[in-house]
Amino acid sequence: MFKLIALAIAITAVGSALATSPQRVAFTSIGKARIGMSERALSHALGAPLVHIAPEEEEEGCYYASGHGLPKGVNLMMLNDRLARFDVTEPGVSTISGAGVGTSESELKGLYGGKLVQEPHAYTGPQGHYMTLRSVDGQYGVRFETDGLRVTGYYAGTAEAIQYIEGCQ
């Protein structure tokens, strides 16, 4: 009997830890949201309809949305009716490797080494940088924006979508 109670407590503890563990950003996912999903599939996976952000600023075929159950500071770029990119603008949401807003450039280089490509930022360069990591097949990536010292925001998704430096443009 004692073993059954101990097992039940252990299962409950693991389930609680999993339920409260932070969602991490991968090349193609965060939580239940996956690159390539339609708005309908995303709404179903997240348990509520997406909320369009600034609909008056939507570009043809491209818009931003937020989703129920996603961490604060995560927005979804929808391109041609499919999820193309996750934008992370606030601390507390990290990649699978642990990088996030506030991570130093030297920490990024330590995490990703020679796989990270550094370029001057279009608006804050030469001090600020884009630091880009590509998937092995080159179809996906994560692009970190820095002020020259620390990550100020980052986005992950398709190789095409992470190249856009002004949201949908």
The two tokens of residue 88 are 């992370």
Taking the whole predicted model, whether its pTM rises above 0.75 is answered as yes
The two tokens of residue 13 are 């503890």
CA distance 4 to 8: 6
For 52-76, what is each residue's pLDDT tens digit?
Answer: 987 656 677 899 999 988 999 999 9
Q: Going from the N-terminus, what domains does the chain have, and what CATH number goes with each?
A: 23-163 (2.60.460)
CA distance 149 to 132: 15
For 108-160, what is each residue's pLDDT tens digit?
Answer: 999 999 999 999 999 988 899 999 999 999 999 999 999 999 999 999 999 99
**CA distance readout (Å), 119 to 35, 53, 123, 132:** 25, 29, 12, 8
